[in-house]
Amino acid sequence: MKRTAAAGLALLFSLVSSGCARAPMGPYAGPRPAPGAITAFDPYWTSNEHKESKAGTPPFLTPGSTNRRSFDIGTVTVPTRADSVVILVYGDNRPGLRMMTTAWGLPAVLDIGSPDPLRFLNAVVNIPVMLVQGIFPRLDMFQDLWSLAYSHRYSGGNEKAVIAALVKNLPADFVVNTGDVVENGRRGRQWEDFVHKHEALRRSVPFLATPGNHERLWSKEGMENWDAVMGPPAQPDRYWFAVDLPDSVARFVFLDSELLADPRGHYPDSLQAKISRDMTRWADSALAVPARWKFVVLHHPLVTSGHYLSDWKYDDSSPAEVQSRARLLDICRRRGVTAVLAGHEHLYQRTYVRGRNGKGFWHITTGGGGSPLYRLSERERKAALSITLPDSSKVTWSKEQSVYHFCRLILRPSSNRRDDTVVLEVNRVRANGKIIPIERIDLGRVPDVEKGP
């Protein structure tokens, strides 16, 4: 019975997936480059030939110094105000199915194949709940499927309210998105939607993003659409770069973690191994600077709340992903990284990663930018926190909330570095647009092992 029910659900989702697959794939058909695209790495857009008109080139981005070693990529400099720097951070804004936002209904029914009798019983009880969800608003499967059928787009989530909240929090020096800006990067129409929805924000402030798994950069269509909308990379197919604030105030290192983790096996092993080594070597070099604050931005969290524990294949027989994760963890501690900013998990999570020598860094997962939220699971959370990380470090403190949100990162350098402050403000965004502060954390302070921040 369990197998039959599980097979039926698998067939349902297979039909949904096949419907998604039939949606048109193709190039982004809007203006090239799209309004707000970061073209600072493209020689054409930064050449003397184009400086007078600067059409499509954000005037606030200028090329920085680049060490052109074989594995080096590039650096741009973002001018800022003298007294403080404000960066808005969010991620996972792509629309999606709304039925995954609670612990009941569909998420419970997906456990119907579990050998645990209680979980199986809970799944059976939730079958009628799932059917009710499909009829009534908010968690409306039928409306989602209809939206997908006629427009090839998901309509679920809270993206619109989060974008409006970000605009309300301008001015800022730049915006960081931790990935998954569209549901399927191979579909040009979804990129056109993204450009339209984010135009006011991207025309006002530099918008910098790291690729997520949904951008599909392993495909030709995904890369071409990203290059047109987000801006081309410094080197073809190499989607990592650094952003500097003047006077060595801070450096942000953006990485392509889909290639590092490769949870779906889209890249040949030999290619993944080579590019992973190139990327981590570059990251190590890029973080070896005397900046006051250093940040690493990537999509797949190095530390998770449990939903994506297997993305780095910590228990896999192939060591490539384990080694990539271990190298990054080691680099972050050794180079004095202030915080890692990640997405992928559709919630807010703050942890502190501490090595055996006591040195560590903050790890912030901000994936509540509009995609349907992931429920919190105490069982998965405990499992995630009980694991010794590949570099032998441990997570010594953790907090999660399953809410739509964005973050404000505020850097205040001073003449005396001991008076520097780096603060993270986290703000919840309700469906009606109301902004509610969640917490304010001093990222310059190491939390107490027992008490936390």
- The pLDDT, as a whole number, for residue 275 is 83
Q: Exposure pattern of 233-250 as b/e (b: 16+ CB <10 Å)? A: bbeeebbbbbbbbeeebb
| Cβ within 8 Å of residue 31, ≥6 positions away | 56
- The pLDDT, as a whole number, for residue 313 is 64
* Cα 435 to the center of its chain, rounded Å: 21
Mean pLDDT of the chain: 78
**How far is residue 307's CA from residue 88's CA, in Å, rounded to a whole number?**
25
For residue 450, give the amino acid letter. E
- The pLDDT, as a whole number, for residue 79 is 60
For residue 15, give the amino acid letter. L
Q: Which two tokens stand for residue 302?
A: 């190095």
Domains of the chain: which residue ranges? 2-23+98-151, 48-96+153-442
**How far is residue 207's CA from residue 177's CA, in Å, rounded to a whole number?**
8
- The pLDDT, as a whole number, for residue 91 is 97
Record the pTM: 0.80
Q: Exposure pattern of 93-114 as b/e (b: 16+ CB <10 Å)? A: bbbbbbbbbbeebbbbbbbbee
The structure tokens 């989060």 sit at 162
Residue 206, preceding bond cis, omega within 30 degrees? no
- The pLDDT, as a whole number, for residue 217 is 93
Fold type of domain 48-96+153-442? Purple Acid Phosphatase; chain A, domain 2 (3.60.21)
Enumerate residue ranges in the chain where pLDDT < 50: 1-4, 6-23, 43-73, 137-140, 150-155, 315-317, 450
Burial of 120 (0-12, 13-18, 19+ CB in 10 A): middle
- What tens digit of pLDDT does each residue of 64-97 get? 333 322 223 456 666 655 578 999 999 999 876 6
Percent of the residues in the chain that have a pLDDT greater than 90, as a whole number: 39
Cβ atoms within 10 A of the Cβ of 449, count? 12
- The pLDDT, as a whole number, for residue 6 is 47
**How far is residue 302's CA from residue 328's CA, in Å, rounded to a whole number?**
8
